[in-house]
Amino acid sequence: MTLNKLFGAIRHHASILRIQNQMAELQRRAQKNPNNLNLQIRMADLFIKLGKKHKALEVYRQAAEKYAQKDLVRQATALNKIILRLSPSQVVVDTVLPELYSQRIDEGDRRVYP
């Protein structure tokens, strides 16, 4: 192994450890405040960085549902777009996004959406 590869491996390992430490801190904070959806979304972002896409999708989906239940349609739409980008075969999102867009239009948001 060359010296450059060794240093690259060390940097990668340090990066993973840093992300794991951030995740542990977010999990502690989320236990204290389980209704904080921003913490949940940040954890999902870290799951992506750790290569745990399935877990990230699960967390994004739960947060999107909670946003929709609170009538925070824009946030729910944004999360569903992330889910769709990460996993285009998500059938649930295919049915949820049109409904969310419809709600946005019903609420008076008359902009044209892609």
Using left for φ > 0, alpha for ψ between -120 and 50, and beta otherwise, residue 36 falls in beta
- The pTM (predicted TM-score) of the whole model is 0.75
Measured between alpha carbons, how far is residue 108 from residues 30, 31, 63, 75, 98 in Å? 34, 36, 24, 16, 16
In the chain, the amino acid numbered 22 is Q
Q: What is the mean pLDDT of residues 67-80?
A: 89
Cβ contact 36:29 at 8 Å: yes
Residue 110 has a pLDDT of 46
pLDDT band at 92 (very low <50, low <70, confident <90, very high): low
Residue 7 has a pLDDT of 79
Measured between alpha carbons, how far is residue 98 from residues 35, 38, 94 in Å? 26, 24, 7
76 versus 42: which is more confidently predicted? 42
Measured between alpha carbons, how far is residue 84 from residues 24, 97, 105 in Å? 27, 10, 21
Query: Has domain 3-106 been given CATH number 1.25.40?
Result: yes
